[in-house]
Amino acid sequence: MKDIKVIGIPFDFGQDHIGVRLAPHVLREANLIPRLQNIVKTEDLGDIIFPFKLVEAKKDKYIKHSLGAGLGTKAISDRLEEEDLSKSFLLNVGGDHGLGLGTIHGLLSHHPESVVVWADAHGDINTPETSPSGNFHGMPLAFLLGLSQHPHFGWIRRKLLPNKLIFFGPRDLDEGEKDIIARHNIQYYSSEDINRLGAKEVIEMALHKADPFGICPIHLSFDVDVFDQMDIDSTGTKVPYGPKLEELFLMGGVLAETGRLKSMDLVELNPQIGDAASVERSIALVLEFVEATLGQVFHAGKEKKPMPAMLEARTTSGRYL
pLDDT of 9-60, one tens digit each?
Answer: 999 999 988 899 999 999 999 999 999 999 999 999 999 998 776 555 455 7
Distance CA 300, CA 218 (A): 15
Residue 61, pLDDT score: 74
Which CATH number covers residue 214? 3.40.800.10
Catalytic residues: 97, 120, 122, 124, 137, 223, 225, 268
For residue 168, give its domain range.
Answer: 3-316
Per the rule left: phi > 0, alpha: psi between -120 and 50, beta: everything else, 263 is: beta
306: confidence class by pLDDT, cuts 50, 70, 90: very low
Model pLDDT for residues 197-235, shown as the tens digit of each residue: 999 999 999 999 999 999 999 999 999 999 999 999 999
> Exposure pattern of 272-292 as b/e (b: 16+ CB <10 Å)?
ebbeeeebebbbebbbbbbbb
Whether 309 shows a pLDDT value over 90: the answer reads: no
Residue 321, in any domain of the structure: no
Residue 211, in any domain of the structure: yes
Residue 72, in any domain of the structure: yes
| pTM given for the model | 0.93
Model pLDDT for residues 280-302, shown as the tens digit of each residue: 999 999 999 999 999 999 986 55
Average pLDDT over the chain reads 92
Distance CA 76, CA 118 (A): 18
Residue 53, pLDDT score: 63
Q: Is 111 annotated as a binding residue?
A: no
Residue 256, pLDDT score: 98
Q: What are the C-alpha distances in Å from 49 to residues 10, 12, 46, 159?
A: 8, 13, 9, 25
Residue type, 129: E
Distance CA 24, CA 12 (A): 12
Q: Is 110 annotated as a binding residue?
A: no
Residue 55, in any domain of the structure: yes
H helical segments located in 145-190: 175-183
How confident is the model over 262-271, as a mean pLDDT?
98
Q: Are 301 and 277 in contact (CB under 8 A)?
A: no
Which percentage of the chain shows pLDDT scores above 90? Answer: 87
Whether 305 shows a pLDDT value over 60: the answer reads: no
316: confidence class by pLDDT, cuts 50, 70, 90: very low
Residue 321, pLDDT score: 26
Residue 62, pLDDT score: 87
Residue 52, in any domain of the structure: yes
Residue 166, in any domain of the structure: yes
Whether 261 shows a pLDDT value over 90: the answer reads: yes
Q: Is 120 annotated as a binding residue?
A: yes
How confident is the model over 170-194, as a mean pLDDT?
98
Sign of CA dihedral 198, 219, 305, 204: positive
- Contacts with 148 (C-beta within 8 Å, 6 or more apart), sequence order: 127, 128, 139, 142
Q: Is 225 annotated as a binding residue?
A: yes
User: What's the number of domains the chain is made of?
Assistant: 1
Q: Are 128 and 150 in contact (CB under 8 A)?
A: yes
* Nearest by Cα to 96 from 43, 140, 51: 140
Q: Are 37 and 21 in contact (CB under 8 A)?
A: no
Q: Is 124 annotated as a binding residue?
A: yes
Residue 190, in any domain of the structure: yes
Residue 41, in any domain of the structure: yes
How confident is the model over 262-267, as a mean pLDDT?
98
- Contacts with 173 (C-beta within 8 Å, 6 or more apart), sequence order: 122, 123, 181
H/E segment holding residue 203? helix 199-210
